[in-house]
Structure formats: C-alpha cells, structure tokens
Amino acid sequence: MSAPQKNRKYCQSLDCSSQLKREMGMPTKKVRISSLWCRVALHGAVVRCGLTIGALTLAPSAFAALGGPPTLETVSPQATEQIKARAQQMILETSGASSAAIGAEGAWTVRESKLPGGTVEREYLGGDERVFAVAWRGPYRPGLSNLLGPTYAMQMSQRAFAQRKDGLGSRERTVQMSSTFCVRAISRQRFSAGVAWLPSRLPVGLHPDALSIPSSS
C-alpha cells in the first residue's frame, strides 16, 4: 500500500464530502471582504507561495502554518523519544492499532513551546523539516490562526459553525476530515486541545491518534 492510500484511509469520510457539498451550496455572505479578511487572504496566499518559494515564509513575523517551516522551540532527542513512546502507548490504548502506527524511526520530529497561560503547542515535522501536523493542549485556547495558519484556522471555524447549525457538532467539539486538511478539537473555557494535520504529508505508518498531546504530559 502506498503512502497516499494509507493516509487517505484516515481522511476519507462521509461527513467530509457532505460538508464540502454543503459549503459549495451555501450562500457566500460569509466571504465578506474587509481589510481584516483581506489580510487573512493575503497570509493565505503567502502560505501557498511559501510552498513553492520557501524564502517568503521566513518573513520576520514568523507566521506559522501547517505545511510551512517550524516556529516553535526545538526539543531534545530524549524528549522526542519520550513523545514517541507516549504516542505508541496512546495508540495501543485508544485505537488498538499495532505498535507500528507511529511510523518509521526518524520519519518525524517534534518542536514544542509552552505559552504563558500553560497551554502547550507542538509542531510535527517531516523529514523535509516542514510542519505536517500541529497539536495543542492546555487551559487556554492558543492562537490557532498562528499555529494552523490563517487559512486552515478559518476553514476549521467555519466548518465547525456549519456543523453546529446542522446538528453535527457542538460549540466545543469538532471533528473534520478531508483529503487536504484534518482536525479534531475541543475548545471551551479553561480547556483547549486538538490536533490538525495535512494528510498528504503524514509520514507512512503514522496514525493521527498518535499526534494528540496526552493529558499527563
């Protein structure tokens, strides 16, 4: 099984296709152009440019995004090993998948920072040093426009809003799967946690459940 097929398995879902359909058929009033949203769109463009012209994403603002270069702090090899061991344990506990579900040795590394309020942010890097997934967990919601990048952050919130209005999700929990972007998140007062990833960049054999930050870390 090739890597893309394996990855798609995690992200082919009925809800995704129906969401997309619904969005395509939805009124477009939400695409109201203001200077604020224009800036967001601009950032989105920069992110896309960054995929082909890497230097553009190294702007002084160091705006992070899925698919872009890392912005968080480096983590020691020992800490990375601990994270991988925990990921393996988590897979066994939650999904019953095999211990191989965290991917091959050396296939990914981690960067991590702790915000002043106590929330941990994490970036997962593939062999190309690009962020293929992010995770967060802690008492306060981090700036997801920065961690996910503005395009994915907006996609996540707009789909979550549509889900809630359709009875498919709550204010506090969303699960979104598509062939290009996947996220599952909780955000409420005093607690926010989630993981988001780009399925096309997920290392072979890595189960997305391994990416969550466990409660006791």
Partner 1 sequence: MNERNNIVEQREPGVEIRTGGKVRVSRWTTGAAALYMSAILALSACGGSGGGTPGSSAATSTPATNVPATNAPASNVPASNPPATNTPAPSVPVTNSPATNPPAGASSYAMAITVENGVDGERNVPQVSVQLCAPGTSICQTIDNILVDTGSTGVRLASAALDPRLLAALPQETVSSGTLNACGQFVDGYTWGTVRTADVTIGPKQARSLPVQIFGDPAAGSAPRACTDNGTLSAEDTPQAFGTNGVIGVAELLQDCGTTCTQLVVPGNYYTCSGSCQGVKVPLSLQVSNPVASFAQDNNGVVIDLPQIGVTGQVSAAGTLYFGVGTEPDNAMNGAVALQTDPDSLMNFVTYNAMSYPDSFIDSGSNFVYLSTASIPACPASSSVAGMYCPVSALNLSATFLTMSSSTISEAFAIGDALTILGDNPAFGAFNNVAASVSSMLTGNTIDFGIPFFFGKSIGLVNEGQSALGKNGPFVAVGPG
Place of tokens 């695409």: 31
Burial letters 78-89, b for 16+ CB under 10 A, else e: eebeebbebbbe
- Binding pattern for the stretch 37-76 against partner 1, x by CB under 8 A and - elsewhere: x-xx--x---------------------------------
173: three-class secondary structure by DSSP: strand
DSSP structural state of residue 136: E
Cα Rg of the chain, angstroms: 17
Instruction: Determine contact, residues 155/16, Cβ cutoff 8 Å.
Output: no
Nearer to partner 1, 75 or 182 (CB): 182
Q: Which of 48, 84, 86, 173 binds partner 1 (CB under 8 A)?
A: 173
Which of these segments, 47-55, 67-75, 125-133, 181-189, binds partner 1 (CB under 8 A)? 181-189
Positions touching partner 1 (CB under 8 A) are: 9-15, 17-19, 30, 34, 36-37, 39-40, 43, 93-96, 116-118, 139-141, 143-146, 150, 153-154, 156-158, 160-161, 163-175, 177, 182, 184-191, 193, 208-209, 212, 214-215
